[in-house]
Structure 1
Amino acid sequence: MTEKEQEVFVSKRTVGLSSGILYGIGCGIGGSVFVLLGTAIAEAQSGVLISLILGGILIFFTALNYSELSTSLPISGGAYNFGKEALGGFLAFILGFFL
């Protein structure tokens, strides 16, 4: 192999606005909402729309928290490392286990 073939590819650690929004929608809503949405609308009518809007608002603020934590602790490990910094090793293990 030549030196050019041995270069390590390092990806950029950036997420654009559109990909971030689409990723958040995909993670927040999930696939099951599309399966159960018809049944829920039949039972609760307009209450379903209100609950989806409120859930979206909660997901938005959760995503803001994770973005702040990710910029303050730029290491891999996600929620476990956030808990480890705040609570210590054992409670971080429990947090990571349940997430």
Structure 2
Amino acid sequence: MAAAASSSAWKARWLRPEAYPIFAATGVAVGICVMQLVRNITTNPEVRVTKENRAAGVLDNHDEGRRYARHPFRRFIDGKSAEIMPGINSFFTAPPKN
């Protein structure tokens, strides 16, 4: 009986609609961390998981490192403005054109 009561108290405290946004934000943050860890383990040229790769020592494989650093998202954002809303920012900060 005590276990059921404590379980019910836990649900009453934490499984409220007001707590859903913090669960969602935490889930997204954990998902991003897991994605980055998997990316580093599988594609980073400096991370070697297997014994054969670790025995190779330091490699001068600059092309592989360049491919890792220039991933598709980085290539997508290259050349774009570092502003969040460039249209609105330029509207309020740029002098009017006559």
Would you say same fold, with TM above 0.5?
no
Higher helix share goes to which structure? 1
Give the structure with higher Rg (CA). 2
TM-score, normalised to structure 1, is: 0.32
